[in-house]
């Protein structure tokens, strides 16, 4: 196998790994958002009426939003 073909195979392997990692991250984010308490409320954009309701809404796993500079580089939400 020549050096050119080996390099092509490595690039293809890295690209496939990157696609799979992106799919894994997207699936994880989708699962967290799908299980979110706010998703099941009648008016999810309205603020909570009481402090216990606030605690209940924020009791699930929270996602870290990257800084604007990181988002412009393409970093994903973790």
Q: Are 37 and 54 in contact (CB under 8 A)?
A: no
pLDDT at 69: 79
Is 20 or 77 the better-scoring residue by pLDDT? 20
pLDDT at 23: 95
Give long-range contacts, CB 8 A cutoff, 24+ apart: 50-58: none
Residue 75 clears pLDDT 90, i.e. is over it: no
pLDDT at 67: 76
- Looking at the chain, the whole-number percentage of residues with pLDDT higher than 90 is 27
Domains of the chain by residue range: 3-72
**Which pLDDT band holds residue 78 (cuts at 50, 70, 90)?**
low
**What is the DSSP annotation of 19-48?**
HHHHHHHHHHHHHHHHT-GGGGSSSTTSPP
pLDDT at 24: 93
Angle at 31 between CA 27 and CA 33, to 5 degrees: 115
């Amino acid at each position: 196998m020549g050096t050119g073909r080996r390099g092509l195979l490595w690039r293809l392997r890295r690209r496939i790994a990157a696609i799979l990692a992106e799919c894994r991250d997207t699936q994880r984010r989708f699962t967290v958002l799908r299980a979110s308490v706010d998703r099941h409320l009648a008016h999810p954009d309205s603020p909570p009426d009481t402090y216990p309701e606030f605690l209940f809404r924020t009791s699930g796993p929270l996602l870290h939003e990257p800084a604007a500079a990181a988002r412009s580089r393409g970093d994903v939400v973790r």
